[in-house]
Amino acid sequence: MLGAAAVPVMLAVAAMGIASQVVAEPRTLTKPPRLTVEVAVVGLLQPGVSRPLALTITNSSGQRVRLTSLSVVVETATPTPEQPDLACDGRSNFAISQSVDLTRMEVTLPARATRSLADLGIPEGEWPKVAMRDLGTDQDPCQGAQLTVTVSAAGERVPAS
């Protein structure tokens, strides 16, 4: 078993009226087994709505890697320079639901290759999702927030065939 990789990834929640769009900033994971994960949200977020997280995974090692676990956790929401007085708590306002069950499917990344979850045969309905919780209060301060999520991935080397 190769070590797990977990590094924060920043997502920006853009102001768009009541709806918010989450856009991934370029951040990567580069720990054994040298996997890089990029995150983007498919669609707009608003209170009570969840959207799939499109993950793209790069295996920069010279060997195939079978993914054994993959998870995403909300950490914080922080203000942007445009909204320094932001009062949006990431864990209170946003939630992640895990859907990728790697125990029932084999997901193998070729050596030195980049694959999206769709490329790996994982249907969109099984991707992790981010939701903006409907708290029944004014959540406008979350518009423009930068949401930090931690993506954790682990894998094992696949012997050459």
How does residue 29 score in pLDDT terms, banded at 50, 70 and 90? very low
26 or 54, higher pLDDT: 54
Query: Can you give the pLDDT at residue 84?
Result: 62
159 or 130, higher pLDDT: 130
Query: Can you give the pLDDT at residue 88?
Result: 79
The count of other CB atoms within 10 Å of the CB of residue 152 is: 15
- Bridge partners, residue 20, by sequence: 15, 45
Query: Can you give the pLDDT at residue 7?
Result: 38
Domains of the chain (ranges; CATH) run: 5-157 (2.60.40)
Query: Can you give the pLDDT at residue 21?
Result: 35
d(CA 90, CA 30): 25
pLDDT tens-digit profile of 106-149?
Answer: 788 999 999 999 999 888 888 999 888 999 988 888 877 777 78
Query: Can you give the pLDDT at residue 147?
Result: 77
pLDDT tens-digit profile of 67-112?
Answer: 888 888 887 776 666 666 667 788 888 898 886 777 677 788 999 9
**Cα 76-133-98 angle, rounded to 5 deg:** 75
